[in-house]
Structure 1
Amino acid sequence: MPALPATDGATRSERLDRLPFTRKHGRLLGTAGIGWALDAMDVGLISFVIAALAQQWQLTSIETSWIASIGFVGMAIGATVGGLLADRIGRRSVFALTLLVYGIATGASALVGSLAALLVLRFVVGLGLGAELPVASTLISEFAPKRIRGRVVVWLEAFWAVGWIAAAVIGTFVVGASDDGWRRGLAIGMAPAIFSIVVRWGMPESVRYLLAKGRVDEAEATVREFERAAGVPAPTPPQQAEDEGADASARPASAPTASESRVSIWSAALRRRTIALWTVWFCINFSYYGAFIWIPSLLVAQGFDLVRSFEFTLIITVAQLPGYAVAAFLIEKWGRRPTLTVFLIGSACAAAWYGTASTEALIIAAGCTLSFFNLGAWGALYAIGPELYPTNVRGTGTGAAAGFGRIASILAPLAVPFLIAGGGSILLFGVFAAAFAIAAIAAWTIPEQRGTPLA
């Protein structure tokens, strides 16, 4: 039986870092993961709704593009504002609020009778969706034990595949089943509003956030809950450091100082990593949402009926799960930077292959390969972001990167019709492949943070 980690003289952050992964960690991961999956379900579901409405409402390609893009406008704003709020009012509160907002708006979307009303509600949905993701990954990063922090965040991101698979199942068997199927599918999307109650009362607030706000007693109580779950004895009070800043030696050499971290994510110590992170976020958003939001519609345009195209999309989506599993293993073996870079290179190659695929077998094979590498890259990216910033700007830094990336997710669905008209699938997926390649170059410049404590 391994010895329990020592706590005497350790800061509260160090005490969390030294713990084994317990059932309490698992419950936290599961709660955040369900919210993450519901987020993915909503984003994935709209691709099936778009394909159905294009036929029922006789929408043009520009109109269907806006159904997707207006949600990403909301996500860009939501990610930026959500990150700022998370640093001010707490990770847990923002996470619960975002679930409530987009759950109600998604359910209301099932009642619309016009394109204009749908666009307004999709914008509101985007506000909630955009804010949730960077906040959830920040919260999990701040609780995960240091030695497996990257792996735990990839596990969180793997819930995205669960949600997207749920969306594909709903799209195939609910949206595609009848003329009103899209309304029933969106009605199911109200689940996050109900789940937000569980989140608000069942999740702990980040210890690092509580310490940054001077709420030491609450932070200590939370740390003790996790220590009790691991069977770790309480430290003796005189030897307990007051906060994570008490032990300067615990700070990694590459981390910015406290005075620097209070300035901005654009301070001298953080500027290069911010630029690299924003570049990766922009390129991966452009390629991912440009491809996966449009795949059902592109398959219909290639001559497959609605149900058949939905079945293909479901098969392709399932390949996300092994992508996450491999990324979760490699991120603690290879490190963050090489794992992200390799998966982005694989995404570039898969995108180029998909653009030339013509038969059913090739479409499925190339689509599964793209799904595998692309979602593995997403897992690594979400693990990297929170590690690059100190506590008092961690939410801001991750949220701002996500917000900038959402600009690409706005542009991508709008660009697809023009790229298809200009050169078909070869040009479209060639552009996506180039974006993945640029992201891979940027990823290689991000500092490696494996095994380092959070600043």
Structure 2
Amino acid sequence: MTAVEARKLPIGAAFDRMPFTRRHVLIALALFIAFVIESWEQLALIYVSGDLGGAFGIDEAGIGVVLSAVAFGMIPGVLVWGPVADRIGRKPASFWSLLAYGVIAFASAFSPNMATLVTLRVLSGLALAGIYTITFPYFLELLPTRQRGKAAVYLSIGWPIGMLAAIAASVLLGGLGWHVVVLASAAAGLWAFAIKAWVPESPYWLVARDRQDEARAVLRELGSQDAEARFTIAHERVGNPLDLFRGRLAKITIVMLALNFVFNWGYWGLQTWLPTLLQQKGLSLSASLGFAALSALMMIPGYVSASLLTARFGRKKVFLVFVVAAVLGGLWFATAGSTWQLYAGNFVLSFFSLGAWGVWNTWNGEFYPTALRGTGYSWATASQLVATTVAPSAVGALLAHATGFTTTMLVINAFMVATALLAMPLPETEGRELE
């Protein structure tokens, strides 16, 4: 090695002068589609639930069990896959997770009864949890420091695209039966081979495992000008969940878990019951689907604006402003006295809440060192999924006790207020090297 090649650098420094290249665009496309698939899976059956009930002779409670089964499987799944990704690598975890999900989803399309369907959907959630957990940390670990925030927020646009795809599937395929929608989900599992072909292993992870030559090869491929150095890492114990609650990380972990719960509670509490809430305001079911589609479209400019702003003002300021604006939109929606106010309030809510989600998906993946990033993100995701499971039942209980549209929406909105308060003590990470 020459004197220049022998110098030591923190692995994050190799990304400071790295340009954003065509290879990054290909990586972004591969992981973007993966996030679309994740969104699709969690939403697709919601829009064909009527056919599902008729096929198995089950009522709303039974349908609720089927719809929640994936989330039930994902809760233990994310806690397993995070440490696994920290130990075996981001690339194999992503590949095997998505491929296994496709195989199990295919089998579930031929379920002879509800018990089999629920079991297979729990298992598909267990499998999908891997790619769901690792997509954002994996992407962050391949991006130049300057573009990390902007590009990762754009990745979040995969969520409304998946939502729109699920609505479109209910219109185009729903008449063919619920199992056809599930088969489309299974086919999406083949995207694992695109990830395997286009996305390299994380240099951060390779250095953490002391695979220096492989890390340098990936860095050269990504255009780093510092690819020939010997790289160091900040933390060497890999994937130990107890380390999340030690030292300076303990406070971050506790706040992060609480924020993920309340933020996702607010989102899923609304999304799951939005058609019902809208019908209470006089909209038909078909009009409610159109309303949901328009809301998804409003999410996209929310993400784009957040992406443009976060590089200039930082994660924390943009997140707080967007969450507060979402709260105001929620108040408008809750107290709407006319149809146009209902639409306008929800569009403001969708624009700012999902823009905030785009920032949070990035910010949430930057708190921990490489050796714990997958594990930390898995705990964050588990907290979100607990809220995903609890919120629909809690909001359903509110509606069952005839609390009404406005009161229910105000309760949901209170969780957004809690989100802003919890974000205040978290550290800014914009422009900071990943450890």
- Normalising to structure 1: TM-score of the pair? 0.87
**Does residue 268 in structure 1 map to residue 247 in structure 2?**
yes
- Cα distance in 1 between the residues matched to 2:275 and 2:58: 15
* Equivalence for 1:322: 301
Shift of the alpha carbon at 1:54? 4.8
* Equivalence for 1:96: 95
2:385 to 406, 410, 419: 406
Distance 1:103 1:267, change over 3 A: same
Q: Work out whether residues 73 and 123 of structure 1, in 8 Å CA contact, stay in contact via their aligned partners in 2.
A: yes
Shift of the alpha carbon at 1:452? 1.0
Distance 1:384 1:56, change over 3 A: same
1:438 to 397, 418, 422: 418
* Equivalence for 2:215: 219
1:183 to 161, 179, 183: 179
2:361 to 368, 374, 382: 382
Moved more, 422-431 or 371-380: 422-431
- Cα distance in 2 between the residues matched to 1:170 and 1:48: 8
1:328-374 Cα offsets, whole Å, 9 max, x none, are 11111121111222222223233333334465433332332222122
- Cα distance in 2 between the residues matched to 1:111 and 1:363: 41
Secondary structure of the structure 1 residue equivalent to 2:244: coil
* Equivalence for 1:249: none
Secondary structure of the structure 2 residue equivalent to 1:308: helix
- Cα distance in 2 between the residues matched to 1:403 and 1:163: 21
Distance 1:370 1:9, change over 3 A: same
- Cα distance in 2 between the residues matched to 1:141 and 1:438: 27
Shift of the alpha carbon at 1:196? 0.9
Q: Work out whether residues 44 and 293 of structure 1, in 8 Å CA contact, stay in contact via their aligned partners in 2.
A: no
- Cα distance in 1 between the residues matched to 2:343 and 2:114: 32
Q: Look up the equivalent residue of 2:179 and give its one-letter code.
A: R
- Cα distance in 2 between the residues matched to 1:382 and 1:257: 22
**Does residue 426 in structure 1 map to residue 406 in structure 2?**
yes
* Percent of aligned pairs with the same amino acid: 29
* Equivalence for 1:310: 289
Q: Look up the equivalent residue of 1:214 and give its one-letter code.
A: D
- Cα distance in 1 between the residues matched to 2:229 and 2:113: 59
Q: Look up the equivalent residue of 2:424 and give its one-letter code.
A: W
- Cα distance in 2 between the residues matched to 1:434 and 1:148: 33
* Equivalence for 2:109: 110
- Cα distance in 2 between the residues matched to 1:81 and 1:204: 22
**Does residue 243 in structure 1 map to residue 231 in structure 2?**
yes
* Equivalence for 2:315: 336
Gaps of 5+ in 1: 1-5, 246-255
Q: Work out whether residues 14 and 244 of structure 1, in 8 Å CA contact, stay in contact via their aligned partners in 2.
A: no
- Cα distance in 1 between the residues matched to 2:387 and 2:55: 28
1:227-255 Cα offsets, whole Å, 9 max, x none, are 2xx7x5x76xxxx532134xxxxxxxxxx
5 Å-filtered alignment, 1:34-433, equals 34-54=33-53, 59-175=58-174, 178=175, 180-227=176-223, 232=225, 240-245=228-233, 264-299=243-278, 304-357=283-336, 359-422=338-401, 423-433=403-413
Moved more, 34-43 or 204-213: 34-43
Distance 1:185 1:257, change over 3 A: closer
Q: Look up the equivalent residue of 1:343 and give its one-letter code.
A: F
RMSD of aligned residue pairs (Cα, Å): 2.6
Q: Work out whether residues 133 and 374 of structure 2, in 8 Å CA contact, stay in contact via their aligned partners in 1.
A: yes
Shift of the alpha carbon at 1:260? 12
Shift of the alpha carbon at 1:83? 0.9
Secondary structure of the structure 2 residue equivalent to 1:190: helix
Q: Look up the equivalent residue of 1:433 and give its one-letter code.
A: N
